[in-house]
């Protein structure tokens, strides 16, 4: 007795959409497990990734001061020479 060939429909016992979802969930689980292993077994640097260097603090102070100056005195002065001779004539 030789086994009878199965049709493709008999081989898939679950719907293809469900199969895709199961494969995606399995891949997501694998990624999470790899991330957990990397976090647990990876290098243990004690430095804080949020810590700033003194150079960066100085630059940020400089930019903040420039912003305060811009707020207080305006972003830029007049674009060209201002003719103040005709101010009393009523024309602009």
pLDDT tens digits for 6-24?
666 666 688 889 999 999 9
Kindly state whether residue 71 falls inside one of the protein's structural domains: no
pLDDT at 92: 46
- Tell me the residue range of the domain where 30 lies: 15-42
Q: Where are the alpha helices (DSSP H) in the chain?
A: 8-11, 16-41, 54-73
Q: What is the pLDDT of residues 54-75, one digit of tens each?
A: 899 999 999 999 888 888 777 6
- For 26-58, what is each residue's pLDDT tens digit? 999 999 999 999 888 877 666 676 788 889 999
- Which residues, 6+ apart, have CB-to-CB distance to 12 below 8 Å? 19
Question: Is residue 83 pLDDT above 80, yes or no?
Answer: no
| Structure tokens, 36 | 């957990």
- Specify if 7 maps to a domain: no
**Domains contained in the chain, number:** 1
Query: Looking at the domain assignment, is residue 29 inside a domain?
Result: yes
Which of residues 1 and 38 earns the better pLDDT score? Answer: 38
Residue 83 zone, left/alpha/beta (φ > 0; ψ -120 to 50; rest):
beta
Residue 52: inside a domain: no
């Amino acid at each position: 007795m030789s086994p009878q060939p199965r049709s493709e429909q008999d081989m898939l016992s679950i719907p293809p959409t469900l199969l895709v979802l199961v494969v995606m969930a399995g891949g997501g689980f694998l990624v999470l497990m790899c991330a957990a292993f990397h976090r647990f077994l990876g290098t243990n640097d004690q430095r804080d990734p949020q810590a700033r260097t003194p150079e960066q603090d100085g630059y940020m102070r400089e930019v903040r001061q420039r912003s305060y100056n811009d707020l207080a005195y305006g972003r830029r002065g007049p674009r060209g020479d201002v003719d103040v001779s005709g101010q009393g004539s009523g024309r602009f």
